[in-house]
Structure 1
Amino acid sequence: MRHRITRRDFVGGMLVSTGLSAFATLPSASAQASSSDHFVSPPLRTGMRGSHPGAFEAAHALRDGTLQEKEIKDTGEVYDLIVVGGGLSGLSAAHFFQKYAGADKTVLIIENHDDFGGHAKRNQFSVNGHDLVLNGGTLEMESPQRYNQWASMILSDIGVDIEAYKKENTKTGKTYEDMGLQAGLFFNQEGWQRDYLMRKSQNQAEDHWRFLSASALKAAPLTDKAREDLIRLVNFKQPDYLAGKSLSEKKKLLATKSYKEYLLNVANIDPAAAAIFQKAAAGVFCVGADALPALFAWAMGYPGFSGLGLGELPEGLLSDLQGGQHGRQKDSEETVHFPDGNATLARLLVAHLVPESTKARSQDDMGLASFDYTKLDQPGEPVRIRLGTLALNIAHDGTPETAETVSVLCAPAGEEAPRRISKVRGKQVVLACWNMIIPYMVPTLPAAQKEALAYAVKGPIAYVNVAVKNWRAFKKLGISEISCPGMFFEDVQLAEPASLGGLKAPTDPEKPIVVRMIKTFGMPGLSKRDQHRAGRSVLLGLTFEQFEHEIRQQLQRILGPGGFDADRDIAAITVNRWPHGYAYTYNSLYDPLDWVFTETSDRPCVKARQPFGRIAIANSDAGASPHTDAAFEQAHRAVVELLERQTFPFVSAAPGASTL
């Protein structure tokens, strides 16, 4: 582990001289044309990505109140709509606006990152002549058959063909299964006496849960009691740990008790056995079993509930609440994962909004499509996407009831003390950014709305993608994904064997592939929102070099027995850092039960998303759900609110009485 691969070592995922920087800040549209020889397409950039350096410094200065007054340059630009935020919600807001108001209407999308798509990020590598991609953020479309009508409309409009995609991937979809590769659990010596990789048992006749079964646990580094407790926990005929309570009482208790507490104090399993579940659902909620309601764990299929007589979770229950309630709906096998996750959706949206930016048009085209970033912000085009730019202040040009335009002050996102502040105007504005920054951008909002906007604390998470030259070690060890509850990264997974058009799934262990590693930042002992705040601070304090050290040592410990050599086999590393990651979802351990299980208007997300004059709010926070369909649905609502106000100007600019 003595050889380090830094962000300076790669351009487009290919090894080059360390004297050539591949991590230059995205130049402005005008500058790109004159510096194209040095420009690296954002998906090809390695090192620290996600919320990358240069994306948030001005935002932190805005939050801290350290921005100093500068001379403001009025650009004279006036748009029919300005969208703040170029993620899936912002891009779809632009799409809905043009669809309803007219294709000739002008739209400016302002995005602080150097790429479009927000959390729907694409990571791309070229290793030994092989093109590889993987999601750097939003993973997949969960249960698209249950999508709301507006999300379904978006998919139809941009040409998403789920059935064609599934047909294309029928053969390769079971690549790992056909090779005999299984899920595995890694016991690390720090928590379980010795390092041990346990594979899922091949005996399907015995009671099991994922990788846990009596035969698989035989050689695990556990005490007899811990092993027996785990076998009992996954048994399909467990005791009723809540005997004597009614069904209603059982479910309420499970809704208000954490899964960790349930395992330890209700199911009474050994702490060493319970530690296997310490990261339960962390990839969904960004907190572990200590902050996961036991009722959620039951709904998600975690073990320990078969004897309680809870019945079956009715099909669709909890899944059809507005925007979907992430992780609480019954699991569905109908997930759709494009090779780069939902970045394919963002790329299709941009191809429709700014057709000059790419020759690609169809779903299959997106596999290997290239985008000309100099074409995203061109004068005279109906839709312009302005990257690397932060909206600092948004104010009506007059009162919210009478103003005909809204002024938006902008600055380079990466400057703590911006040297250039420009003003653009929009006849309407959609805020498709994070709720928590909106009170700083729009200081004239009502105090109660600011408070509601501040309630949603987004969950921090890191998606790390490691391009390796081969995956022989995975094949030799017989594993395709490994749960590592006691290590720095809790999940290590081979990229899904997915193809899209000219981009072909990796199916040969001798060839390169991308390995996904996931880390969440739960802080047990705190409330969910406080865990998110504390975890964000930890994530922002980690350097690329620290991530790289952890990547190398963890892969070496797990895969070394299979012949893996970190120095030899790692080709490139991209760390997707998301300190403001998943939208906050209501949690019955900390939030009122009606916020969690109903669509009540008392929820902070409903109070926060109320329109304010010519300003409407769209984003996944507005639906209290990180689902992609929630982002689309909230965009539609925001656009309709603006168009209703435009069509019926006698209606109040804010909730309340009519202006007549």
Structure 2
Amino acid sequence: MSHWNPRDLGMDRRISRRDFFDGVAVAAVAGSLLGPGSSGRNPAGAAPTAPTAPVAVTGGPCAAPLGDTAQALSVPHALRDGRFWEYAGRPEDTGERYDLVVVGGGLSGMSAAFAWLRAEPGARVLVLDAHDELKTPSPDAAGRGSALLDPPSAWTHEGRALLDDLGVGLERAAPASRQADSVMCDRETFPVETLVKLTPGLPAERLAARLPVADAARRDLVMLCENPPDWFPGLPAREKQERLAGLTYSDFLLRVCRVHPDVERFLRTLPNARWGCSTRCLGAIDAWASRGYPGFQGLGLDRSEPSRFNSPTVEREWNRELYRVRGGEESLVRAMTRAVAGGGGPGRTGHQVRLRPSSPVVSVRNDGDPGSASSATVAYFDGHRVLAVGAGSVILACQGAMVPYLVPELPERRREALRRAVRLPLLDAAVRVRDRGAWRRLGVSRTRWTGAYWCVTELEDGGPENGGAEDGGGPGVVRLLATPCRSELGPDEGAAAGRRALLRTPYAHMEFTVREQLARLLGPAGFDPARDIESIAVHRWGHGRAPEYRRPWHSFAPDGPFPSDAAPGRFGRIAVAGSDAVPWTGPEAAVTAALRAVEELRR
């Protein structure tokens, strides 16, 4: 139960803007455009829907999302459920012909368009997207970049070269920059809500003494941090790693270390910001390989190289230089959009590129046998009818799970593998505040919560090196992240359950929890949400984080074959991009997949 009255939190106040961006189709309206009922020809839940258009609510209390387009909500579900072609007419040929058609206007799609134009400056390119605007969040919805939402990654040489061409820089980032500087042991988890600052070099005993946990939990936490035993004595290193690969980190703590349950509750949300799920889903082998997860020192495992059981992302980033896009992924997508559109807005031609939003693609087919086809046909829904355009090549930079419904002639092995690309749901908010001085007075800039709705709150660019939490205050942007995945069910089933819960969550509840958690954290330092919040932007992504195949949930890891292994290799004049098409995640994955798809089609 909340201790706060909605009126005290400012829920009734008129602020400069409230924006709610929807990244998931609403099931209740999924059939409104194309008729009632599902034909049932496809298995239920076989593929998630594509992202939908932004929903904007500006000014005044938010009662319901407004401004979405019906086709963005309904078409992907109708394709999945086998209803679309029962009610849609035959495609009408527009007579348009392009050298390249890109399906999906996100980071991977815009990277593909940009890379193609680098190789063929005179090419005619069409980018189709289901959103009513391309995936470039409004600049006023965020500040200068967020370490919370843009984690570092190990960029390839090709990816860095593409960014150089765009004029978008990379900055080096240490893995430690991902860590919170404080933990809110919240009332959802513990009897007494307590903010604990993680002072660098703080001895484990002093940290444990500050926690609102049982005495036995304090002793167990100190043991894990300072002197854990060898939990698998007598086993060779490889077998120890294999044991860890069969456990989640929560299982390791509770079943192997046998610590007090309060220890597991305190550590549970450690991986949420990085992995989109809690320790009940994160494999113990990946926790061993990451910073900040205690309990492994006594195993005596060699840390000079990763374990063969580690996830692809951990393996790629092991002892490599990590980088973050300067200004964040949002700035990268905007730079790509400007580059390919030549300054023209959506729907306008620039550099032979046309950007066409509100145009969900419904069919992609080779013109003839894939082995000899020299062109393809792409059909999309414009809100009234199905239109078809010709393409010399097509790059599918949409979600991998939608590809089997767009290209039904794709070999079944590839179709089945792509259906397994289950993404994790995410929810992030950007809150513009009148004065960030409360963060300075409190002495924190990034707080992990142990069980509240939003698992991380961060003052954007809030570190002392960026003139944040230790400066004299002034306006700022606060970012919040929620990870709805039901981690105890695993990444696939947990993602589906979390997505259903996210669909049922009213936007008013999201705003309420934003205001309440900021009041709980910053209220003692003088923050008043009714007075100090100037705007709120919430992005809801039902299919947010690309899948990462890892132990203990995916038995085919690490030897494969991975579902993403089915994506490479062109099918006639069609190639697959998108971050689902590579086994690791992050913005670099989306760019890498795009560059590979361009190379495959241009061979």
- TM-score category, normalised to shorter length: 0.7 to 0.9
Matches within 5 A, 1:2-17: 2=7, 14=16
Q: Which of 53, 57, 61 pairs up with 2:78? A: 61
SS at match of 1:214: helix
Contact kept, 8 Å, 1:460 with 1:521, in 2: the verdict is yes
Q: 2:159 aligns to what? A: 151
- Give a deviation string over 1:279-314, Cα, whole Å, max 9, x none: 231223222111211110010121111111112243
| In 2: Cα distance, 1:96 partner to 1:152 partner | 13
RMSD: 3.7
State the Cα distance separating 1:344 from its structure 2 match.
1.8
SS at match of 2:317: coil
Change beyond 3 A, Cα 1:192–1:240:
same
| In 2: Cα distance, 1:86 partner to 1:65 partner | 25
1:150 counterpart letter in structure 2: E
State the Cα distance separating 1:330 from its structure 2 match.
3.4
Q: 1:252 aligns to what? A: 242
Q: Does 1:391 align with 2:410?
A: no
Q: Does 1:93 align with 2:134?
A: no
- Give a deviation string over 1:534-556, Cα, whole Å, max 9, x none: 11111222221110111122111
Q: Which segment drifts farther, 444-453 or 399-408? A: 399-408
State the Cα distance separating 1:471 from its structure 2 match.
1.8
2:78 counterpart letter in structure 1: A
Contact kept, 8 Å, 1:108 with 1:385, in 2: the verdict is yes
State the Cα distance separating 1:110 from its structure 2 match.
1.0
Q: 1:308 aligns to what? A: 299
Q: Does 1:528 align with 2:495?
A: no
1:154 counterpart letter in structure 2: L
Q: Which of 317, 332, 347 pairs up with 1:345? A: 332
1:338 counterpart letter in structure 2: R
Contact kept, 8 Å, 2:438 with 2:522, in 1: the verdict is yes
Q: Does 1:160 align with 2:168?
A: yes
| In 1: Cα distance, 2:516 partner to 2:427 partner | 17
Change beyond 3 A, Cα 1:514–1:294:
same
| In 2: Cα distance, 1:320 partner to 1:303 partner | 17
- Give a deviation string over 1:190-236, Cα, whole Å, max 9, x none: 3211111111236x2x54xxxxx32233232111111111111111x
Matches within 5 A, 1:351-362: 351-357=338-344
Matches within 5 A, 1:273-288: 273-288=263-278
Q: 2:188 aligns to what? A: 190
Matches within 5 A, 1:181-260: 183-201=181-199, 204=201, 207=203, 213-235=204-226, 237-260=227-250
- Give a deviation string over 1:520-545, Cα, whole Å, max 9, x none: 12214423211111111112222211
Contact kept, 8 Å, 2:20 with 2:65, in 1: the verdict is no
Determine what percentage of the aligned residue pairs are the same residue. Answer: 30
Q: 2:443 aligns to what? A: 478
Contact kept, 8 Å, 2:20 with 2:537, in 1: the verdict is no
| In 1: Cα distance, 2:511 partner to 2:459 partner | 18
1:617 counterpart letter in structure 2: V
State the Cα distance separating 1:135 from its structure 2 match.
5.5
How many residue pairs get matched? 557
| In 2: Cα distance, 1:472 partner to 1:630 partner | 37
| In 1: Cα distance, 2:316 partner to 2:450 partner | 21
SS at match of 2:209: coil
State the Cα distance separating 1:125 from its structure 2 match.
2.8
2:578 counterpart letter in structure 1: N
Change beyond 3 A, Cα 1:115–1:304:
farther
Runs of 4+ in 1 over 6 A off after TM superposition: 3-8, 21-24, 41-52, 316-321, 503-507
Contact kept, 8 Å, 1:536 with 1:579, in 2: the verdict is yes
Q: Which of 518, 521, 542 pairs up with 1:579? A: 542
Q: Does 1:112 align with 2:130?
A: yes
- Give a deviation string over 1:159-193, Cα, whole Å, max 9, x none: 2344xx67xx9xxxx9x9xxxx9811111223211
Matches within 5 A, 1:370-389: 373=345, 376-379=346-349, 381-389=351-359
State the Cα distance separating 1:5 from its structure 2 match.
7.2
SS at match of 1:613: coil
| In 1: Cα distance, 2:316 partner to 2:326 partner | 23
Contact kept, 8 Å, 1:49 with 1:574, in 2: the verdict is no
- Give a deviation string over 1:618-640, Cα, whole Å, max 9, x none: 11111022222222222122112
Change beyond 3 A, Cα 1:431–1:643:
same
Change beyond 3 A, Cα 1:135–1:219:
closer
- Give a deviation string over 1:400-427, Cα, whole Å, max 9, x none: 2343322211124xxxxx4232221111
- Give a deviation string over 1:553-605, Cα, whole Å, max 9, x none: 21112221111211111111111111111111111112235x33x5x5x2221
Change beyond 3 A, Cα 1:43–1:326:
farther
Change beyond 3 A, Cα 1:249–1:456:
same
Contact kept, 8 Å, 1:140 with 1:337, in 2: the verdict is no
SS at match of 2:298: coil
Q: 2:425 aligns to what? A: 460
| In 2: Cα distance, 1:566 partner to 1:251 partner | 48
| In 1: Cα distance, 2:463 partner to 2:601 partner | 39
| In 1: Cα distance, 2:130 partner to 2:105 partner | 8
| In 2: Cα distance, 1:379 partner to 1:222 partner | 62
Q: 1:325 aligns to what? A: 313
Change beyond 3 A, Cα 1:2–1:333:
farther
Q: Does 1:78 align with 2:90?
A: no
| In 1: Cα distance, 2:555 partner to 2:12 partner | 45
Q: 1:643 aligns to what? A: 602
Change beyond 3 A, Cα 1:7–1:156:
farther
Q: 2:514 aligns to what? A: 551
Change beyond 3 A, Cα 1:531–1:44:
closer
| In 1: Cα distance, 2:146 partner to 2:315 partner | 19
Q: Which segment drifts farther, 238-247 or 44-53? A: 44-53
Q: Which of 260, 264, 282 pairs up with 1:270? A: 260
1:488 counterpart letter in structure 2: Y
- Structure 1 length as normaliser, TM-score? 0.76
SS at match of 1:190: coil
Q: 1:650 aligns to what? A: none
| In 2: Cα distance, 1:79 partner to 1:534 partner | 41
State the Cα distance separating 1:397 from its structure 2 match.
2.8
2:352 counterpart letter in structure 1: P
Query: What 5-or-longer segments of structure 2 have no aligned partner?
Result: 1-5, 23-52
| In 2: Cα distance, 1:57 partner to 1:137 partner | 32
SS at match of 1:401: coil
Change beyond 3 A, Cα 1:492–1:356:
closer
Q: Which of 373, 385, 410 pairs up with 1:445? A: 410
SS at match of 1:479: coil
Contact kept, 8 Å, 1:158 with 1:352, in 2: the verdict is yes
SS at match of 1:356: coil
Change beyond 3 A, Cα 1:141–1:294:
closer
State the Cα distance separating 1:337 from its structure 2 match.
4.8
Contact kept, 8 Å, 1:318 with 1:325, in 2: the verdict is no
Q: 2:393 aligns to what? A: 428
- Give a deviation string over 1:481-524, Cα, whole Å, max 9, x none: 1110211111111102499xxx9979745311111111112214
- Give a deviation string over 1:10-64, Cα, whole Å, max 9, x none: 6xxx35xx9xx9999xxxxxxxxxxxxxxxx989987899999434432222222
Contact kept, 8 Å, 1:462 with 1:518, in 2: the verdict is yes
Contact kept, 8 Å, 1:82 with 1:107, in 2: the verdict is yes
Change beyond 3 A, Cα 1:507–1:277:
closer
Q: Which segment drifts farther, 1-10 or 67-76? A: 1-10
Q: Does 1:560 align with 2:577?
A: no
1:311 counterpart letter in structure 2: D
1:233 counterpart letter in structure 2: L
2:197 counterpart letter in structure 1: R
Q: Which of 439, 455, 459 pairs up with 1:490? A: 455
